[in-house]
Amino acid sequence: MTAWRIAVGGFALESVSFLPQETGLDDFEREARRGRALIEGLAGSASVAGGFLEVLDAAAAEILPLVYTDCSAAGPASDAAFEHYRDELLAGLRAAHQSESGPLDGVLLFLHGAMTTPSRPDP
């Protein structure tokens, strides 16, 4: 049986709307992990991504790491940060799906449901 090809990534923030300062790209970049660093830094951790990786490892899946960043609870994400990570995740998914190894079999994304931006009160 061929191993499943599963892309893994995440972009999470629990927006606290009464905080006036936006959570910007620099804030997210301090927590960002890409490629192999995503797997090495989060495997075995008590996090959503750690759980994703544990299950995929047990299933002997081929893991295609994208980008993962989580700023916990803070002010709303800046529009620029939201657009940056949205675009990075989409580009990574397209590249992984169109690779010579064949299309993706699945995607695991951690996207916190409480993220807001100034122009997207409910993205």
Selection from 36, 38, 57, 59 nearest residue 49 by Cα:
38
* Residue 117 within a domain: no
In a domain, residue 63? The reply is yes
At 123, is the pLDDT very low, low, confident or very high (cuts 50, 70, 90)?
Answer: low
Q: Is 90 exceeded by the pLDDT of residue 107?
A: yes
CA distance 102 to 10: 22
pLDDT in tens, 34-48: 999 999 999 999 989
In a domain, 32, yes or no: yes
Q: For position 2, what pLDDT does the model report?
A: 74
Residue 106 has pLDDT above 70, yes or no: yes
In terms of C-beta density within 10 A (0-12 exposed, 13-18 middle, 19 or more buried), how is residue 71 classed? buried
* Residue 25 contacts residue 80 (beta carbons within 8 Å): yes
Residue 1 pLDDT class (50, 70, 90 cuts): low
* Least confident interval from 30-34, 109-113, 114-118: 109-113
Number of folded domains that form the chain: 1
Q: Which domain holds residue 55?
A: 5-111
Q: Name the pLDDT band for 54 (thresholds 50, 70, 90).
A: very high
Residue 48 lies in a domain: yes
Section 80-90 average pLDDT = 98
pTM (2 d.p.): 0.91
The per-residue pLDDT for 30 is 96
